A = this chain, B = another copy of it.
Amino acid sequence: MSYRMSASDLRMGPGHFLTGLRNDDSLLRQVFFSILRHHHPNLAAKVDVIYALSQAWCTSQSDSDFELLVKYVSDLKPEERILVASSFSHMLNLHNLTEEVNSSQIGRAVRLGEMDSPTRDTNHSLLKLTTVNGLSPQQVYDSLCSQTVELVLTAHPTQALRASLLKKYAIVRRELDTLHSKRMSEYEKIETLESIRAAVQAAWRTDEIRRSKPTPQDEMRGGLAYFSTVIFDVVPVFHRRVDTALEKLGLPRLPLDRMLFKFGSWMGGDRDGNPNVTADTTRDVVVLARLEAVNAYFKQVEGLMFDLSMWRCSPELKELAQRIAAAESRDAVRVAEERKRRNYADFWAPIPATEPFRVVLSHMRDRLYNTRQVLHQCLIHPALSVRAALREAGAYEDAEDMARPLQLMYDSLVATGDESVAHARLLDLLRQIRTFGLSMMALDIRQESARHTEVMDAVTRYLGLGAYAGWDEGRRLAFLLEQLQGKRPLMPPGMDMSPEEREVVATFRMLSELPADSLGAYIISMAKTASDVLAVVLLQRETGVRPALRVVPLFETLDDLHNAPATISTLLANDWYRNHINGVQECMIGYSDSGKDAGRLAAAWALYETQEKLVAVAREYGVRLVLFHGRGGTVGRGGGPTHMAIRSQPAGTINGHLRVTVQGEIIEQQFGEKEVCFRTLDLYTSAVLEAALDPPPAPRAEWRALMGQLAADSCDTYRSVVYGTPDFYEYFMQSTAASELGRLNIGSRPSSRKQGGIETLRAIPWIFAWTQQRLHLPVWLGIGEALEAAFSKGHQPVLQDMYANWPFFTSTLDLVEMVLAKADARLSAFYERTLVEPRLAHLGERLRSLLANTQSNILIVVRKSALLEGNTPSQMSTPNLDEKIRLRSPYVAPLNVLQALSLRGLRRFREQGGDGVEYNPSDPEIIDLLSRDPKASRWRAAGAAAGGEGGAQQPQQPQHPYQAAMDDCLMITIKGIAAGMQNTG
């Protein structure tokens, strides 16, 4: 007697986080709408209709709905377009933070054990590795103790939101979170909602277009704020949590001198194509960062002075305390006077030796105060050499000076049986000192190889040795090695150079005066040959940079990547060089540029192979290779979920040591709040731990061959389309906002080198432009055809096998799939219909069919019938990803429509020089709206058009209101769409 099964189909669990997401979403939307209605009632109704139409289209995907939406939006008056664009941009940002709140709700639920965790946290990994993989706890412990993750913060080239908007959204996020997690009385609830409303209101009334370019120091401050308000405090909390988890496994705590994290930064050190990062800039940021560190330690030491009020201590500490107390009591009056002058919060009078901890701590406080004074002087007097200034004033120059007495206190407390006091704030401080040192973070310097070649050229000419720039690689190498092994100075003082060359040399000199622990690596972008590296080694010696910075070549283009192994082995073949780097060579690989000229797949594969070859080359010479990963923000630039990214590295490239950049808006997402920062550290730690102990399987030979084939085919298609198709460039410039991007002062560096075709465009604007018009071409172009070719050779099952079992291939395709899920051919076609001359239209069709083709071929490989359908292991986050994308698209679509229309308006306006549009609002409210740009009133400057002027064309004075409106609308849509395309946590 047989009967049929029926799966009851009402699963519970994370779904109610989905409703949680929806409730927050609708709460914030209500708040926003009630503010909108309050200020612009008639506009609110229009936004409502547009949202409804956009939603209808997003769900039905029918042409009629789309046309309805377009028609409605086109009827908006210029000033309405601005406000509508602004409304959707705000709603989108509000929606994004409900996603963030929702995921930290999930994080909390996981911690409180109310649900099992979707992503990996360290605790979970510890358990998994010991129970599932059958490793002994001791093995896991040893691996944990020998790993470090180095996070390098870089500027936000596309940081969309202004700091002040960021702050307001942070308030909304915090209050929303409080609403969920704290029990409050009716009044507290009312006041919380009022402050949410106040923040949203304030955000809405703020001009969201940044009207002036931020200086590198501004960027640096933004970055620094993350350290002082979040990272500095979370790192010890995280170490403590790891200790607790280790204890539960019966393992000892992390040893005191083993730190799981180190931090670096490019802000103020990265001068690649960024002329206003000068030697002084670098000095400023170093001083500022040290100031930040000193302030943070000052507070901790003052806190410890209250905590460690006990009189028992070890003999060593007693001896130190008495020495200090004796010295102070010799002239007690002067000491008390001085402390009064410094306006310390407490403990003016010299402290008696019966409180040994305080005696030592108050001495440390004085030295910290002095350190701060010196650094302050350095800020005021740019001529002061920082290193020298620190030495004279008895300031702290070396982190160990601070750690030693604290270590002594720690040992003393342990010796007298006061462990639990030792493991409180004192332990935190020791860990902070070992993580952040006195510099808070290590600053990397990045410069383009060509600039050093010019300097060398100027030198060899001056010395009459010929033109270095004209020598071939062989001769350069011989020359450089000869100089490096010799002792003769090369650069006579006061030799005449161009301003650019002088700036390069000035930077080197500056590096020689800055404290070494504030500096990280010297990165050569566009590194092509071994001489690029040796030139920098030589220049450092010539300018007296001691200890020299490790020189890290960054191989960016495909060609440079392909012969990176040869370049490195040339270097390592040289005995002098090998012991100069004493056994460690670091290389940086990022592929934004290689992605631009070969397409994503070829770039990813080139990257993968290069890493393997570099590892092999290094192993050949018995040198340890450190790979520095430049990870982009948006997927286009190599972003995407961290855990998966780490697992997909070839074996042997990470082994317990990860150095990676955190850029773009990722910083705000990963370090914006303590809760989020905690999770970030958790994620990296467990990812690296697992990569070390549970490494991914190595790829099989036939996979390699096939992958190589895919890379070659996709590259050919990519190039034939981008570089081989005549009028592709024209199509690109007409159908995207690429030409207007320059004016979007985001980030402190200009967007293109000189004039002419695609190859002159920098990778970031290239990718950004395609993201804006939703074709995302650079990510997928060529992949479809490469797969097709493979299918025709019957490799389909192999490809499916590769996807299922090779993390590299998995994550490469997943990222493309994720982008395809955000691509929208229909909207892209709309851009074309609105902006491109009909004679180029055939090109659009082709691109869209290539897109559709890529999509269906990828679906075959990943064995899905729809994009993102049902999760594979890497996109597992609740509520799942395509749900998130779907919740957002009704907000983004109207922004795309508005953008295309504004671009058309602006270009028509420029062509006909403005007649034909009679838009002359008289309502003062609107006039204000259109004149929020303070610069709109500067006078024509003299001289030829120079490159360094940041790309604004010559506006006629005063700007025509129609143009101002379309300009603002364009800027707002660009930010909005960027916010819509980013993928949160």
On A, residues with C-beta under 8 Å from B are 38-39, 108, 111-113, 123, 162-165, 167-168, 181-188, 190-191, 194-195, 197-199, 201-202, 205-207, 211-212, 215, 217-218, 221, 225, 240-241, 244-245, 288, 291, 306-312, 340-341, 343, 345-346, 348-349, 352-355, 376, 379-380, 416-418, 420-421, 423-424, 928, 932-934
Contacts and interface: CB of A to CB of B under 8 A. Distances in A.
A311 B206 contact: yes
A432 B96 CA distance: 35
A186 B418 contact: no
Contacts of A183: 112, 181
Given A195-B424, A343-B291, A349 B215 contact: yes
* Chain A interface mostly: helix
Contacts of A288: 343
Given A194-B420, A194-B423, A354-B932, A185 B244 contact: no
A202 B183 CA distance: 32
B191 A240 contact: yes
Contacts of A308: 202
B112 A343 contact: no
A184 B182 CA distance: 11
A211 B352 contact: yes
A184 to B, nearest CB: 7
Nearest to A171: B307
Contacts of A306: 163-164, 167-168
B421 A341 contact: no
29 contacts: A38-B417, A111-B185, A111-B188, A112-B184, A112-B185, A164-B309, A167-B306, A168-B306, A168-B307, A182-B182, A187-B245, A190-B244, A195-B424, A199-B424, A202-B307, A202-B310, A202-B418, A202-B421, A202-B424, A205-B418, A205-B421, A206-B309, A207-B310, A207-B311, A218-B346, A221-B346, A311-B932, A343-B376, A354-B932
A240 B928 CA distance: 34
Number of copies: 2
A206 B312 CA distance: 8
Contacts of A245: 187
A113 B244 CA distance: 37
B201 A420 contact: yes
Nearest to A247: B190
A245 B186 CA distance: 11
Nearest to A355: B207
A639 B843 CA distance: 89
A113 B221 contact: no
Contacts of A352: 211-212, 934
B421 A380 contact: no
Contacts of A346: 163, 218, 221
A202 B421 CA distance: 6
A295 to B, nearest CB: 10
Nearest to A421: B202
Interface centre among A198, A352, A380 (most CB of B within 10 A): A198
Contacts of A310: 202, 205-207
Contact of A354 (B39, B198, B211, B345): B211
Given A187-B244, A191-B240, A206-B311, 12 more contacts: A38-B417, A168-B306, A181-B183, A182-B182, A195-B424, A198-B420, A201-B420, A201-B421, A205-B310, A218-B346, A221-B345, A343-B376
Interface centre among A162, A211, A311 (most CB of B within 10 A): A311
A111 B288 CA distance: 45
A509 to B, nearest CB: 22
A291 to B, nearest CB: 7
Contacts of A421: 198, 201-202, 205
B185 A113 contact: yes
B418 A353 contact: no
Contacts of A348: 217-218
Contacts of A112: 183-185
A959 to B, nearest CB: 14
A815 to B, nearest CB: 33
Interface centre among A181, A240, A307, A349 (most CB of B within 10 A): A307
B312 A928 contact: yes
A312 B927 CA distance: 12
A721 B286 CA distance: 77
Contacts of A418: 201-202, 205
A234 to B, nearest CB: 14
Nearest to A329: B934
A445 to B, nearest CB: 22
A367 to B, nearest CB: 20
Given A202-B307, A309-B164, A376-B343, A207 B420 contact: no
Cβ-closest 10 pairs across A and B: A205-B310, A111-B185, A164-B309, A352-B934, A198-B424, A206-B309, A198-B420, A167-B306, A202-B421, A112-B185
Contacts of A165: 309
Nearest to A187: B244
Given A111-B187, A185-B112, A312 B195 contact: no
Contacts of A218: 346, 348
Contacts of A340: 379
A556 to B, nearest CB: 33
A343 B217 CA distance: 12
Contacts of A376: 343
Nearest to A186: B113
Contacts of A933: 354
A197 B380 contact: no
A455 B343 CA distance: 35
A286 to B, nearest CB: 14
A202 B309 contact: yes
Contacts of A181: 183
A349 B217 CA distance: 11
Contact of A198 (B123, B182, B345, B423): B423
A310 B190 CA distance: 25
A887 to B, nearest CB: 27
Contact of A191 (B185, B244, B309): B244
B197 A420 contact: yes
A419 B761 CA distance: 47
Nearest to A346: B221
Interface centre among A112, A312, A345 (most CB of B within 10 A): A312
A335 to B, nearest CB: 14
A212 B355 CA distance: 12
A416 B202 CA distance: 12
Contacts of A417: 38-39
A912 to B, nearest CB: 30
A172 B737 CA distance: 59
Nearest to A181: B183
A220 to B, nearest CB: 11
Contacts of A416: 205
A183 B183 CA distance: 10
Contacts of A198: 420-421, 423-424
Contacts of A241: 187, 191
Contacts of A354: 207, 211, 932-934
Given A346-B221, A421-B198, A423-B194, A928 B311 contact: yes
Contacts of A211: 352, 354
A307 B194 CA distance: 15
A677 to B, nearest CB: 16
